[in-house]
Amino acid sequence: MFVLGFACASYADDNELTFNEILDQMEEAGDYSTMQGEAVMKIINSDGDETVMAFTSYEKKGKTADDDDSSLIRFTSPARLKGTAILVVGDNIWYYNNRTNRVRLLSQSAKKGSMMGSGFSYEDLELQYSKDFTGEVVAVERDHYKLKLIPKKEKNYSYMVIKTRKEDFQVELADYFNENDLLYKKMVSKDFTKIKSKGKERVMPMVIEVKEIEDGKVTRIEFDPDDIKYDIKLDDDIFSERALRQ
């Protein structure tokens, strides 16, 4: 704490951004309109057993802050999950089971639950910092801002403490705390890479890792920079029941 306090004293000055300005910058750093990517999700439990899933994901941000974001995730492996797909539009989640050809709207309580047994929940898929959080600047370090983010709507966690990079406002670390102020989940972003797409260059983490403190389970999502595209044209009907069933 002393070191942290020293760092605050050392690097805070009148030119530092306010909490809301930082949130705006973070929002802008992730301000792509669409995203398409291939990813591999590895779940490693405390015994070292590994479960590997691969999926293609599509994402489209709402045109305004009040519009819903949409995402579609289609699993491509392992074989037992191939064809399974999940559509998230705003607060709604539709799950497609290709073995019964049935689409089911899940209850919104599912949003707080684990996504396919991973350390990520469905609500982790869409974070709109300015819209979803209040909070404060906890510390200003040489290269990072440290923020406390309190969700406006009830979520799995009571609050998050995040570290965002000053150079590009990418979130490097997020600690999730429960209502008892206990750290229960830790997210780390790594391998920040410049991705060129549609003439723009964006810095994005190629690895996002979540560690669940209680059982030591680690979930790692790895993106291939060659398979990520931003701001491409994605038709609205990709985020539809029609696409879910394909």
**Binding stretches for other proteins (CB under 8 A):** 43, 45, 49, 51-52, 77-80, 82-83, 89-92, 99-110, 112-114, 116-118, 215, 217, 236-237, 239-242, 246
Q: Which is nearer to other proteins, 121 or 170 (CB)?
A: 121
- Report the first-to-last Cα separation within the chain, whole angstroms: 53
CB of 49 to other proteins, least distance (A): 7
Q: For residue 202, what are the CA distances in angstroms to 188, 205, 229?
A: 19, 10, 10
CB of 112 to other proteins, least distance (A): 7
Closest CA to 161 of 184, 194, 190: 184
Residues 6+ apart with CB under 8 A from 189: 170, 171, 172, 173, 205, 207, 208, 209
CB of 129 to other proteins, least distance (A): 23
CB of 95 to other proteins, least distance (A): 12
Q: Which is nearer to other proteins, 111 or 202 (CB)?
A: 111
Q: Which is nearer to other proteins, 64 or 100 (CB)?
A: 100
Instruction: Please state, in angstroms and rounded to a whole number, the distance separating the CA atoms of residues 145 and 138.
Output: 8
Q: Which is nearer to other proteins, 12 or 182 (CB)?
A: 182
Helix (H) or strand (E) holding 131: helix 129-132
Residue 82 neighbours by CB distance under 10 Å: 12
Q: Which is nearer to other proteins, 181 or 236 (CB)?
A: 236
CB of 79 to other proteins, least distance (A): 5
